[in-house]
Amino acid sequence: MTTPAAERVTLPESVWRARERAHAERADALTADHRERASRGEKHPVWDFLFTYYSYAPAQLRRWHPGPGVELAGAAGDPRAAWRWYVPGEAAGSLTVDRAALEQEKAPLLRGVERILRATAARPGRFGCFGLHEWAMVYRQDEHRHPVPLRLGQAATDAVVESHELRCTHIDAFRFFTPDAVPLNQYTPTRETQPQLEQPGCLHAGMDVYKWAMKLGPLVPGELLLDAFELARDIRLLDMQASPYDMRPWGAEPVAIETPAGKAEYVRRQRGFAERSTALRERILEAWLGAETAAA
């Protein structure tokens, strides 16, 4: 991790407050349905994942940061003056992110995040998995992670797994494989091999861009964070549409990956997500580390 020389940009108060308001409004729109369901205690097997597996509350999405190297004019009296990692800027009455202190305290975490972002963005995507990780999670099991019926039933679901090659490269999908599915996978992902195996064609790696953006905190501009959340939301829909579960009652029409047409649709959308996720990784690295350092 190499921090570039400090280059300050000062945002007038009217400009950054407008960006902050726009960010909050966008975040509220993105989380409105979830917050309404949560107020009723209602579960949703497609969308709850974005707030449970990724255990970040809507309020965290709502918090706008300008990113490093930006001074917020007239912010000294703002509530963010009490936020962690904000310090007075060079201009009187301004605040800025204390990147050096944050990077020093969180150095091991940030090195790992940078390594995964760089490595994943640099390699080509693989598009032959067809979302079978979700099928491997229910293979030869009577009890499943989601209390939702299997679209084809257990026997036919097992047959789909047995008639395909499992090629999952993502540790956080692979670790939920059933014991019988584990030896069927072409790879044995571990936390240690994650930087070597992570690749942009993986839906879970694409959703994880949101996780990495959250872990970077004020090093990532708020607009980028919400772009990453939107990507995770869009990928999550395909992940459940292509799963063995019947998610139609929750608005997710099946992508039948056991058929040629379903495979073609899955790969088409998968390629689009790979392009979006790679672009986001590069934008996050550039916003955090600067254009020259990000490209190194």
Mean pLDDT of the residues in the chain? 94
User: Where does residue 217 fall: left (phi above 0), alpha (psi -120 to 50 degrees), or beta otherwise?
Assistant: left
Task: Express each pLDDT in 24-37 by its tens digit.
Answer: 999 999 999 999 99
Task: Express each pLDDT in 142-167 by its tens digit.
Answer: 877 778 999 999 999 999 999 999 99
Return the residue matching tokens 């497609």.
Answer: 46
Query: Are the C-beta atoms of residues 102 and 218 closer than 8 Å to each other?
Result: yes
CA distances 102 to 56, 97, 225, Å, are: 20, 9, 18
For residue 116, pLDDT beyond 80: yes
Q: Which two tokens stand for residue 163?
A: 């008639």
Mean pLDDT of 195-208: 96
Task: Express each pLDDT in 220-248 by its tens digit.
Answer: 999 999 999 999 999 999 999 999 999 99
Alpha carbon distance 91, 85 (integer Å): 17
Mean pLDDT of 52-62: 94
Q: How confident is the model at residue 290, as a pLDDT?
A: 86
CA distances 16 to 75, 142, 278, Å, are: 10, 53, 27
Strands 70-72 and 9-11: parallel
Alpha carbon distance 138, 68 (integer Å): 44
Q: How confident is the model at residue 291, as a pLDDT?
A: 58
Q: How confident is the model at residue 142, as a pLDDT?
A: 84
Read off the pLDDT band of 1 (50, 70, 90): low
* Burial class of residue 295 (count of CB atoms within 10 Å of its CB; 0-12, 13-18, 19+): exposed
Angle between helices 222-241 and 13-40 (to 10 degrees): 30
Name every residue whose Cβ is closer than 8 Å to that of residue 96 and which is 6 or more positions away in sequence.
Answer: 8, 68, 69, 70, 71, 72, 86, 87, 88, 89, 90
Query: Are the C-beta atoms of residues 2 and 296 closer than 8 Å to each other?
Result: yes
